[in-house]
Structure 1
Amino acid sequence: MKLAFILDPLDSIKIGKDSSYAMMCEAASRHHQLYTLQQSGLAWKNHQVIGFARSLTLIDPPDNPHRWYEEGVIEEIPLTEFDAVLMRKDPPFDTEYIYSTYLLELAERQGAYVVNSPRGIRDHNEKLAITEFPQFIPSSLVTSQEQLILQFLAEHKDIILKPLDGMGGAGIFRMQNTDHNIGVIIETLTRYGTRTIMAQRFLPEIREGDKRILLIAGKPVDYALARIPKPGETRGNLAVGGTGKVQPLSARDRKISEELGQILYARGLMLIGLDVIGNHLTEINVTSPTGMREISDQTGINVAGLMIDALEQNIH
């Protein structure tokens, strides 16, 4: 297969934990051709969507964390010439990201195969998408209105506030009704009532970890990555110092995964990361889900291999 990965700059990739790198390594081991491009490398030209892409050769083993690849020269390649285009650009999901999904959707109409589906990415905000499945989620509120947030806080006493476009735990606040900075926190997050945010009831089960469950082609990987907060933190994200501990899926984890898996896969979302705290679904990650390396390292399961298997089955 000829695979194109849309990524952030390669020098920013942390190969010790990056799922895109794991997928590229697995694809290279099967002698598939690799190409990379950045979001800015997408263009509509001469009535077709093209990518300004470079061929990629992995150095195995890598010389160092920043010397793990060799790139070819930039080539102008119609996206339809790739067997699959993998959209793995990290958030923020800003206007440029939306424009990229429009271009990728045009490429799909011309015959390109894009993973995850650009429409699927665009239609599933990673925070808001959980509202489709109220039976699995904690008490939640989506609003820009201070008064509604104050009412929610009065009801639940202990809540989490988070922006709708963040990643890696950025911008997340825990707020209790005894705090002295309630007003300024709400003003900061909502930008004085001009930005919509999400509030959720605080889940004390976070001490046991914020579980990342990977769904590949609608089916869950058998183990979740529980991201356990460091002392003094309420966020388990590895990006803010959480510790990753792999554990088998619980019965509740499987119920959530199996109910959502086929629904979301039917919408073109081949690789999904569900976030579950205790028994509650808190996010549905569709842009660039991570966790493959940690699960593989601690269990021996070749998670990247499951993903490349799914790609091969869909293409051939």
Structure 2
Amino acid sequence: MAALTIGFLMDPLETVRVNHDSTFELMREAQKRGHRVLYFEQGWLRFNGTCTEARMRHVTVRPEQGRHFDILEEAVHPLSTLDVLFMRKDPPVDVEFLHATQLVELCGDRAPAFINHPAGIRDANEKLFALHYPDLMPDTRITRELPVLLDFIARNPQGTILKPVDGYGGKGILFLSPTDRNARSAVELLTMGGREAVVAQAYIPESRLGDKRILLVDGEPVGGVLRVPSEDDNRGNMAAGGTPRKAVLTPRDLEICERLKPELRKRGLLLVGIDVLGDYLTEVNVTSPTGIVEANQLDGVCVEAKVLDVAERLAAERNAR
């Protein structure tokens, strides 16, 4: 295949942890295949009167922390000059993030192939998208009403997990037992006194064994990581101190993936990380799902190669039009 121009909308490249960051692995794979790698940040986007452009840096990357990239050129380019654009800005999904997903679509009839599609990212809140499949989820409530939340906590004898709707990286997640005298105060804090809705889910005891991050490329499971919480924490998120272990996908895991596949493909959500606790789907992560490095190491796979295969196919279809 002829060399492509591949853009990465992401957080500052200076802050990347080269032995952990999934976006960096994707950049390395693109470079390995001879493609031109351009990087830019959300704040570098602008609309020029006819289309969206951005200040972009043409970079080369290497797995050496602290000297992991070189800038070959820095210039302003219309987004229409990209063959593929990876949307890899980390949460929070705030107003600026949503504005960016709208700006990148303003490319006339020469929009790049997106991974993931900005409209799909906007529509698929990572805590709420799974609610389309209530039979796959633990018993769940989304509300800001304190009496509803307190009643739900009281009716779950094994406990309740509370988390912010727009949370990420394990931040703000609480476990409450039905007899916890902190329950009312915790609910007041998380809901900002009843002003913000939260997610309440029945506690799944298997979570002590870890939750599975399963990576799907074009709807197909390609690798996974079991994230095991520490003894003194309920959160398995690696950002919160969870330990990555090899994950074995069960028939139930594969059933969940198969159920999600048609909708993910329809929405252009081509690189997704779902979270599964026991037999239950808990989240569908679409903004910049992590776990590629760990899945590669533990499963002996090469997730980034599968993603770039899809990117090249989409670019070929775009350029043939």
Which TM-score band applies after superposition, normalised by the shorter structure? over 0.9
CA pair 110-315 structure 1, distance change in 2 beyond 3 A: closer
What letter is aligned with 1:78?
A: P
* SS of residue paired to 1:262: helix
Q: In structure 2, list runs of 5 or more residues that go unmatched.
A: 317-321
Q: 2:5 aligned to 2, 5, 27, which one? A: 2
What letter is aligned with 1:179?
A: D
Matches within 5 A, 1:72-221: 72-107=72-107, 110-157=110-157, 158-221=159-222
Aligned length: 312
What letter is aligned with 1:183?
A: R
- The answer as to whether partners of 1:160 and 1:172 remain within 8 angstroms in 2 is yes
- The answer as to whether partners of 2:88 and 2:287 remain within 8 angstroms in 1 is yes
What letter is aligned with 1:87?
A: M
CA drift of 1:166 comes to: 1.2
Q: In structure 1, list runs of 5 or more residues that go unmatched.
A: none
Per-residue CA shift, 1:98-146, capped at 9, x if unaligned? 1001112223755332221111000010001111011100000000000
CA drift of 1:34 comes to: 0.2
CA pair 172-206 structure 1, distance change in 2 beyond 3 A: same
- Residue 54 (1) aligns with residue 70 (2): no
Per-residue CA shift, 1:44-80, capped at 9, x if unaligned? 1131110111001113x52xx1210011343110001
- Residue 228 (1) aligns with residue 231 (2): no
1:35 alignment partner in structure 2: 38
Hey, what's the Cα distance between the residues in 2 that align with 1:252 and 1:273? 16
* SS of residue paired to 2:175: strand
- The answer as to whether partners of 1:104 and 1:114 remain within 8 angstroms in 2 is no
What letter is aligned with 2:225?
A: L
What letter is aligned with 1:213?
A: I
Hey, what's the Cα distance between the residues in 1 that align with 2:257 and 2:107? 30
2:302 alignment partner in structure 1: 302
- The answer as to whether partners of 1:220 and 1:261 remain within 8 angstroms in 2 is no
Q: TM-score, normalised by structure 2?
A: 0.95
Q: TM-score, normalised by structure 1?
A: 0.96
1:24 alignment partner in structure 2: 27
2:312 alignment partner in structure 1: 312
- The answer as to whether partners of 1:92 and 1:167 remain within 8 angstroms in 2 is yes
Hey, what's the Cα distance between the residues in 2 that align with 1:224 and 1:298? 8
CA drift of 1:153 comes to: 0.8
CA pair 162-305 structure 1, distance change in 2 beyond 3 A: same
- The answer as to whether partners of 2:115 and 2:269 remain within 8 angstroms in 1 is yes
- The answer as to whether partners of 2:120 and 2:267 remain within 8 angstroms in 1 is yes
* SS of residue paired to 1:107: coil
1:263 alignment partner in structure 2: 263
Hey, what's the Cα distance between the residues in 1 that align with 2:201 and 2:99? 30
* SS of residue paired to 2:301: coil
Moved more, 104-113 or 273-282: 104-113
* SS of residue paired to 2:247: strand
Hey, what's the Cα distance between the residues in 1 that align with 2:170 and 2:306? 27
Hey, what's the Cα distance between the residues in 2 that align with 1:35 and 1:234? 39
- The answer as to whether partners of 1:126 and 1:283 remain within 8 angstroms in 2 is yes
Hey, what's the Cα distance between the residues in 1 that align with 2:244 and 2:193? 36
What letter is aligned with 2:35?
A: H
CA pair 105-201 structure 1, distance change in 2 beyond 3 A: same
CA drift of 1:253 comes to: 0.4
Identity level (%): 38
- The answer as to whether partners of 1:213 and 1:275 remain within 8 angstroms in 2 is yes
- The answer as to whether partners of 2:275 and 2:284 remain within 8 angstroms in 1 is yes
CA drift of 1:258 comes to: 1.1
Moved more, 10-19 or 275-284: 10-19
- The answer as to whether partners of 1:212 and 1:226 remain within 8 angstroms in 2 is yes
